[in-house]
Amino acid sequence: MDMSDKDKFELEKSNDNPTNYHSSGGLSSDWRFNSTSIPNSSLGLVPIDNQMSVCRGDLVGAASCSSASVIDSFGPAMWEHPTNSQNLVFCDINVQNIASSSNTAGIGKGVPASLRNGIDRTLEMGWNPPNSMLKGGIFLPNAPGVLPQSLSQFPADSAFIERAARFSCFNGGDFGDMVNPFGVPESMGLFSRGGGMMQGPGEVFVGSGMKSVSGGQSQKNVMNAGEASKDISMSVDHMATEGSPLKNETKRESLARSRDEAKKGLGGSSNDSDEAEFSGGSGQDEPSMLEGNCGELSAKSLGSKKRKRSGEDAELDQAKGTPQSAKGSPETQQKGDQKPTSTTSKAGGKQGKQGSQGSDQPKEEYIHVRARRGQATNSHSLAERVRREKISERMKFLQDLVPGCSKVTGKAVMLDEIINYVQSLQRQVEFLSMKLATVNPRLDFNIEGLLAKDILQSRALPPSSLAFSSEMPMAYPALHQSQPGLIPTAFPGMESHSDIIRRTINSQLTTMTAGFKEPAQLPNVWDDELHNVVQMTYGTSAPQDSQDVNEPLPPAHLKVEL
Amino acid sequence: MTSERAAATAHTGSIKNRFARRFLRSLLKIKRSDRLGAGTSTGFQSNEEVTKRNAQRIKTAAYRSMARVVGPRKIWSRALLFKLRYRARIQGAGLRKRRLVSKKKRVLRKENKVQVISREPSRADDLRKLVPGGDSMHICSLLDETAHYIKCLATQVKVMQSIADRFIL
């Protein structure tokens, strides 16, 4: 089937198109088909669609060559090189198509359709980002003013996606609504396909751009997304500015750019596509029908009809009409399904269904997100929001710290509470220092013992809640026995044991006092009050020490128990 | 599991223990200097004065030990240490009053300027006055520092309370 498609393609190409087409297009088509058949089952759909379009093009006659060439050029761009160059070409072609599509909607649609079908989920990721990159590079010089300043500044999160989508919707229609909520790249891809189809070529392009945005963000990086969004805006701009009459020159320009950036063969193919677009003005109806058959949303057909009516101003109509088409997508889709029965493949219908589902789902989510997020999207309000979030986060943290603050709501009241608490703590410190100062004379010979004990306790008793409990028992055995019971897991029996031994040794051997517990930390203390220390330790806990020394078993026992 | 938990508890208790150790050491130092100075100067000083001075010193020691334990990784501890060091240097140099006065003047002038420039003082400004080093902070970092400061102050109060209880017993 692939082979047959290829053959047909080549035949058509040879028939319709001049020499450049052969030189570049044939090879590219081969490439594309091979690659498509390899990666996915869905890729099989691509050739079918192409064939369909080609057939229709044949029916149309002059338009047929255009569509075929478009598809061809598109195909090579997509599949020929897995790298950037083809992407570049592809983007260019798409842009051109869009530019021309304001008049010749059918061709533009045909291209997107093939695009849709031919693109794999896996491949989308690969080619979209570079695509966007290229577009940005190409179209920046054309319409730099359109670029939103805020876009480049956005971080690479979902919010950014939303914003980008919004921007796109701002530019091209309501497309962003559906695109936004899509977190999954696959669904994004499907949806963007569907959405793009719904809105017509320009919007299709936007859709592809959006795809790249979402996919790139979910999987890759911000830069791509940002540029993709830029590209979207650029493309839209192209559409808007370069309406139908100047198609040719603009196409030429873009073509030249594409050539510059792409390879020669690709450039040739793009040329062909351009020609095809030129000629494809008459083939509007057929491509649109084709897309409907392909099972994509037939909203396009609506858009195309509108375009027919309005002619060159079709862009605006599209932008306005896209919401309608989006709403009426199910019905239109049904139409599309009915149409395809004649010639389409099942896969096309499936795709269209998927696209419609995707569009339905994301809509709701998007509304939800939008309601939550609010409208402010410029950088200042964003920063302000971040700041507010930070502050509230800290406030929450402080709420846990400050007693009696948990029930308070409102930042001012909470700040009051915090201030009061800090003041009270500081006052408490003052008061306690007063107390200590008054008590100080009495404690002369208590501190050292306390210090020694503190150190001991801090070692033997990691949980500090007990370290300074007021009823701290002086009897060490009791402590040791009670502690493990309280904190069985945290009690290092060996440590306490060694501490006890050390302490007893220290108390017995006064020569060791210099290196008592913390030789580095406590030299002064022990230097001056050596005797004091020894006396203190003896006085406070000598009997217990002796007990400990006499029976060092309890810790060991405890350890065993632990 | 036991080791993990022990490590965790030791970590949480480490600041407290270190602070207690430091504070006790500084208390010892104060007492020692007291005893050294008792022979010379205490004779013609009233008991209240001595107590007041000692309270001041103890308070300073408590704050310093707290700041030292926290180390330079927090703004408030840095500011506190700087302030205490500055004060101690002034005290040591014996220039305390003059410099303090001038500093006060400077601060006043500064405050006036700030007030002229900015809006009326808010609650955050009150908090800034309470947290050392808070004058030049954003509200976000101020809240961060406040949280840490409150934690440390609470620990300090707890430790001092337990020590005082022990002493009084």
Distance CA(B149)–CA(A393), nearest Å, equals 17
In this model, does residue A481 exceed pLDDT 70? no
A399, A456, A464: which to substitute to probe chain B, counting the most B Cβ within 10 Å? A464
In this model, does residue A295 exceed pLDDT 60? no
Among the listed residues A188, A196, A68, the one whose alpha carbon sits nearest the alpha carbon of residue A121: A188
Phi/psi of residue A135, nearest 5 degrees: -55, -50
Distance CA(A109)–CA(A198), nearest Å, equals 10
Chain A residues touching residue B5 (CB < 8 angstroms): 489-490
A47-90 residue pLDDT tens: 333 333 333 333 333 333 333 333 343 433 334 333 333 333 33
Distance CA(A511)–CA(B57), nearest Å, equals 32
pLDDT grade for B45, boundaries at 50, 70 and 90 = low
Distance CA(A160)–CA(A226), nearest Å, equals 9
A174-211 residue pLDDT tens: 333 333 333 333 333 333 333 333 333 333 333 333 43
Per the CB < 8 Å rule, is B130 touching A423? yes
**Chain A nearest C-alpha distance from B46 (Å):** 13
Determine the Cα angle at A478 with ends A559 and A542, to 5°. 110
A397, A399, A440, A459: which to substitute to probe chain B, counting the most B Cβ within 10 Å? A440
**Chain B nearest C-alpha distance from A479 (Å):** 16
Kindly list the distances between the CA atom of residue A223 and the CA atoms of A160, A218, A227, in Å, as whole numbers in the listed order. 11, 12, 6
Chain A residues touching residue B133 (CB < 8 angstroms): none
B52-101 residue pLDDT tens: 887 888 888 888 888 888 888 888 888 888 888 888 887 766 655 555 55
Alpha helices by DSSP H, chain B: 2-38, 47-70, 75-93, 96-117, 123-130, 139-168
Chain B residues touching residue A474 (CB < 8 angstroms): none
B85 vs A42 pLDDT, higher one: B85
Distance CA(B59)–CA(B56), nearest Å, equals 5
Q: Measure the N-to-C terminal CA separation of chain A; round to a whole number of Å.
A: 75
B30, B123, B148, B149: which to substitute to probe chain A, counting the most A Cβ within 10 Å? B123
A419, A430, A453: which to substitute to probe chain B, counting the most B Cβ within 10 Å? A419
Range of the domain at B66: 2-168
Per the CB < 8 Å rule, is A429 touching B168? no
Q: Name every residue whose Cβ is closer than 8 Å to that of residue A84 and which is 6 or more positions away in sequence.
A: A130, A133, A134
Helix H or strand E encompassing A369: helix A346-373
**Chain B nearest C-alpha distance from A425 (Å):** 6
Q: Is the Cβ–Cβ distance between A138 and A87 less than 8 Å? A: no
Per the CB < 8 Å rule, is B24 touching A454? yes
A408, A432, A472: which to substitute to probe chain B, counting the most B Cβ within 10 Å? A432
Highest mean pLDDT, choosing among A40-44, A96-100, A340-344, A442-446: A442-446
| Option in B1, B52, B162 nearest A470 (CB) | B162
Per the CB < 8 Å rule, is B51 touching A451? no
Per the CB < 8 Å rule, is A464 touching B1? no
In this model, does residue B123 exceed pLDDT 70? yes
pLDDT grade for A303, boundaries at 50, 70 and 90 = very low
Question: How much is the mean pLDDT over chain B?
Answer: 73
DSSP for A89-136, written as a single string: HHHHHHHHHHHHHTT-HHHHHHHHHHHHHH--HHHHHHHHHHHHHHHH
Which chain B residue has its CA at the smallest distance from A559's CA?
B2
A24 vs B164 pLDDT, higher one: B164
Chain B residues touching residue A438 (CB < 8 angstroms): 51, 55
| Option in A397, A436, A521 nearest B163 (CB) | A436
Distance CA(A525)–CA(A319), nearest Å, equals 84
pLDDT at A447: 60
Secondary structure letter of residue A232 according to DSSP: H
Chain B residues touching residue A446 (CB < 8 angstroms): 166-167
Report domain extents, chain A: 2-373, 381-440, 444-561
A471 vs B84 pLDDT, higher one: B84
A272 vs B116 pLDDT, higher one: B116
Distance CA(A23)–CA(A44), nearest Å, equals 25
pLDDT at B89: 82
Per the CB < 8 Å rule, is A464 touching B13? yes
Structure token digits, residue A216: 């790139």
**Chain A nearest C-alpha distance from B113 (Å):** 24
Which chain B residue has its CA at the smallest distance from A472's CA?
B166
**Chain B nearest C-alpha distance from A418 (Å):** 8
Q: Name every residue whose Cβ is closer than 8 Å to that of residue A504 and which is 6 or more positions away in sequence.
A: A545, A546, A548, A549
B2, B15, B28: which to substitute to probe chain A, counting the most A Cβ within 10 Å? B28
Question: How much is the mean pLDDT over chain A?
Answer: 44
| Structural domain count, chain B | 1
| Option in B9, B24, B151 nearest A450 (CB) | B24
Highest mean pLDDT, choosing among A35-39, A173-177, B121-125: B121-125
- With tokens 């082979």, the residue in question is A3
Per the CB < 8 Å rule, is A440 touching B124? no
In this model, does residue A494 exceed pLDDT 70? no
Distance CA(A325)–CA(A298), nearest Å, equals 8
In this model, does residue B144 exceed pLDDT 80? yes
Structure token digits, residue B134: 């808070």
Q: Is the Cβ–Cβ distance between A543 and A507 less than 8 Å? A: no
Structure token digits, residue A164: 């980008």
Average pLDDT over residues B148-163: 86
Distance CA(B40)–CA(B50), nearest Å, equals 13
Structure token digits, residue A191: 């949806």
**Chain A nearest C-alpha distance from B68 (Å):** 13
pLDDT more than 90, % of chain A? 0
Size of the A and B interface in Cβ pairs below 8 Å: 186
Determine the Cα angle at B76 with ends B70 and B79, to 5°. 105
- With tokens 């103890």, the residue in question is B58
Which chain B residue has its CA at the smallest distance from A414's CA?
B123
Q: Measure the N-to-C terminal CA separation of chain B; round to a whole number of Å.
A: 38
Per the CB < 8 Å rule, is B143 touching A391? yes
Which chain B residue has its CA at the smallest distance from A455's CA?
B21
Q: Is the Cβ–Cβ distance between A69 and A13 less than 8 Å? A: yes
Average pLDDT over residues A303-310: 40
Per the CB < 8 Å rule, is A447 touching B35? no
Give just the sign of the alpha carbon dihedral A209, A212, A213, A214: positive
Distance CA(A388)–CA(A392), nearest Å, equals 6
**Chain B nearest C-alpha distance from A386 (Å):** 11
pLDDT at A398: 84
Chain A residues touching residue B156 (CB < 8 angstroms): 425, 429
Structure token digits, residue A472: 């701290």
